[in-house]
Amino acid sequence: MGLQDKKDIFSFIMINLLLTSIVSGSTDTLTSSVPLKDGDTIVSSRGLFELGFFSPGSSKNRYIGIWYKSIPAKTVVWVANRETPVIDNSGMLKITNPGVLTITNDKNTVIWSSNSSKAAPNPIAQLLDSGNLVVRDKNDNINFVWQSFDYPGDTLLPGMKMGKDLVTGRESNITSWKNDDDPSTGEYTFGCDVTGYPHQVIRKGQVLQYRGEPWNGIDFGGISVLPQNAIFKFDMVLNEHEVLYTYTMFNSSMISRLTMNHSGVAQRWVWADQVKDWIVYFSIPAVDGCDLVCGAYGTCAINSFPKCGCVDKFVPKYQNEWNGANWSKGCVRKRALNCKTDGFVKHANIKLPDLQYTMFYKNVTLAQCEKLCLKNCSCVAYANILKTGGTGCMLWMGDLVDIQEGPSYSSVLYIRMAFSDLGLFTKMYKHEGFD
């Protein structure tokens, strides 16, 4: 073997070692010249997140995923090809012109690709310290052609958004895996429902499993399983173009995530470095089974037995069924409304009812809200839902469903009642016309 041949072999080995180092964790970037092979990874600049091929649980299928680099137990937060795995170790992730990510198998068949209508002349893919995989032009650090944060899996990270684009109709939710071995789309979805007014919901297919309270300017109402915290801050973008919910961490060094699991439970997790494990900060629905069970004008109290009762001055619609713990038909008024002489009874420490048939007025005081409801014979209740500024009037136009009560709930609801069902002070207040 001649000297030149040895130099060529040495050069070949060094080039391959260099290329291997480029995609083995020493960089956060994928370029069009070097695909990411199974076994290689890229790591965000501060070493917070890692991207590469992985197999979930006991499965041998291979997926491109993103997980925490600094946490001992691999915790996957995003999967690219969740519906189309690679069945062996031949997979490669590539960035192609004009800025499309693709995953190919041993036959060089594209089994997954990012979808974007934008283009980048010199595209690169970069894993950010937020856990966001972005495609951009190498000379443009601001404008992204595509980003994984727009396509959540079963996990919502700080900075990710849930909600709906009101122009295109596109929704962003988090959806459960089928099981621990299969990250494909499962039965459960956790998202932001914009019907009536933005609120969080969990659905199994199309069937509602859990409904949160409306956005109150700070968070999603008096949710009793969410303790007061200094860990994260909620935010909502609410305009004629979009309704989007997100959260950020007060302390960027803390690690937290929101997940939707395949058992139908949404959980907020916080990493506890002292014990090297994830701690469940809260779960919804709560284990008491108080959601959507007591019917119209029924109230659910976590610590009561039976847990379902009727709103004061209401009675079970079907007493025999109610006595048999079938509360789904709910309750009815003892005395009918007549619209002209009705008043309102205050109910504190409750979860506000379902928002499907509601009307919202932003710059309306509580006193004005009461008058609006009185003038509308279809209005059965009202509340001030905004904590910021105190001028957010919600009117309910249908039966009140999914009411819960307890000292840890902070909302107040005013329910319309017949004059004869009003308390003495309320009658005097109404009769004298006091403000």
Q: What is the pLDDT of residue 10?
A: 41
Residues 398-417 have pLDDT tens digits of 999 999 998 878 889 999 99
For the chain, the average pLDDT equals 87
Residues 264-310 have pLDDT tens digits of 999 999 999 899 999 998 889 877 778 899 999 999 988 888 999 99
Summarize the confidence of residues 375-387 as an average pLDDT: 92
Summarize the confidence of residues 232-251 as an average pLDDT: 87
User: What torsion do the CA atoms of 206, 212, 217, 222 make, to the nearest 10 degrees?
Assistant: 180
pLDDT exceeds 70 at position 53:
yes
202: tokens are 């969990």
Burial degree of 216 (CB within 10 A; 0-12, 13-18, 19+): buried
Do residues 18 and 24 make contact, with C-beta atoms less than 8 angstroms apart?
no
Euclidean distance between CA atoms 41 and 359, whole angstroms = 51
345 phi/psi in degrees, rounded to 5:
-115, 130
Task: Using pLDDT thresholds of 50, 70 and 90, give the confidence band for residue 2.
Answer: low
Q: What is the pLDDT of residue 118?
A: 87
Euclidean distance between CA atoms 210 and 188, whole angstroms = 11
Identity at 387, one-letter amino acid code:
K
pLDDT exceeds 50 at position 80:
yes
Evaluated on CA atoms 295, 299, 301, 302, the torsion sign reads positive
pLDDT exceeds 70 at position 9:
no
* Whole-structure pTM value: 0.86
Q: What is the pLDDT of residue 406?
A: 84
pLDDT exceeds 60 at position 433:
no
Euclidean distance between CA atoms 300 and 405, whole angstroms = 6
Residues 85-139 have pLDDT tens digits of 999 999 999 999 889 999 999 999 999 999 887 889 999 999 999 999 999 999 9
With helix as H, strand as E and coil as C, how does the chain read?
CCHHHHHHHHHHHHHHHHHHHHCECCCCEEECCCCEECCCEEECCCCCEEEEEECCCCCCCEEEEEEECCCCCCCEEEECCCCCCECCCCCEEEEECCCEEEEECCCCCEEEECCCCCCCCCEEEEECCCCCEEEEECCCCCCEEEEHHHCCCCEECCCCCEEEECCCCCEECEEEEEECCEEEEEEEEEEEECCCCCEEEEEECCEEEEEEEECCCCCCCCCCCCCCCCCEEEEEEECCCEEEEEEEECCCCCCEEEEECCCCCEEEEEEECCCCEEEEEEEECCCCCCCCCCCCCEEEECCCCCCEEECCCEEECCHHHHHCCCCCCCEEECCCCCCCCCEEEEEEEEECCCCCCEEEECCCCHHHHHHHHHHCCCCCEEEECCCCCCCCEEEECCCCCCEEECCCCCEEEEEEECHHHCCHHHHHHHHHCCC
Burial degree of 91 (CB within 10 A; 0-12, 13-18, 19+): buried
Residue 322 vs residues 279, 294, 307, 316: alpha-carbon distances, Å: 39, 10, 12, 6
Specify the residue for token string 């469903």: 401
Neighbours of 109 (CB within 10 A): 9
pLDDT exceeds 60 at position 71:
yes
pLDDT over 90, % of the chain: 67
Q: What is the pLDDT of residue 281?
A: 87
Euclidean distance between CA atoms 427 and 204, whole angstroms = 45
Summarize the confidence of residues 259-263 as an average pLDDT: 97
Residues 184-238 have pLDDT tens digits of 999 999 999 988 888 899 999 999 999 988 888 777 764 444 455 567 788 888 8
Evaluated on CA atoms 136, 142, 144, 148, the torsion sign reads positive
pLDDT exceeds 70 at position 182:
yes
Q: What is the pLDDT of residue 157?
A: 96
76: tokens are 């996957």
pLDDT exceeds 50 at position 430:
no
Taking Cα atoms as reference points, which of 257, 188, 221 lies closest to residue 351?
221
307: tokens are 């847990």
Euclidean distance between CA atoms 7 and 15, whole angstroms = 12
Q: What is the pLDDT of residue 26?
A: 55
- 185 vs 22 pLDDT, higher one: 185
Summarize the confidence of residues 340-353 as an average pLDDT: 93
80: tokens are 């690219």
